Copies of this chain bind each other. A is one copy, B any other.
């Protein structure tokens, strides 16, 4: 269920200024996951696969942390500066996203 930012006139996301870096980071994770599939195909020893899955998991978390960082520095900061209900909405939304990250 995608959530659209409520009543936001500027559709530019918080990560707009560093989009190429985010994309490069995500593509690297995609490569890691593809590498894991290849390891399974080649009957690689379980423990070596587990090591790569742990590395890919940490890389995905790094992607989240960078995105969240920019979300706080741009989207949340803009909403807080504007104040009012939008500020509260954005803060509650960020807290919920952090909780999902911590629990994932």
Contacts and interface: CB of A to CB of B under 8 A. Distances in A.
Contacts of A22: 40
Interface on chain A toward B: helix, strand, loop, or mixed SS?
helix
Most central of A33, A47, A104 by chain B CB within 10 Å: A47
A81 to B, nearest CB: 6
B15 A45 contact: no
Interface in A66-104: 67-73, 75-77, 80-81, 83, 87, 91, 93-95, 97-104
Size bin of chain A's contact surface: 35 or more
A51 B100 contact: yes
5 closest Cβ pairs, A-B complex: A46-B71, A54-B104, A57-B104, A54-B100, A80-B80
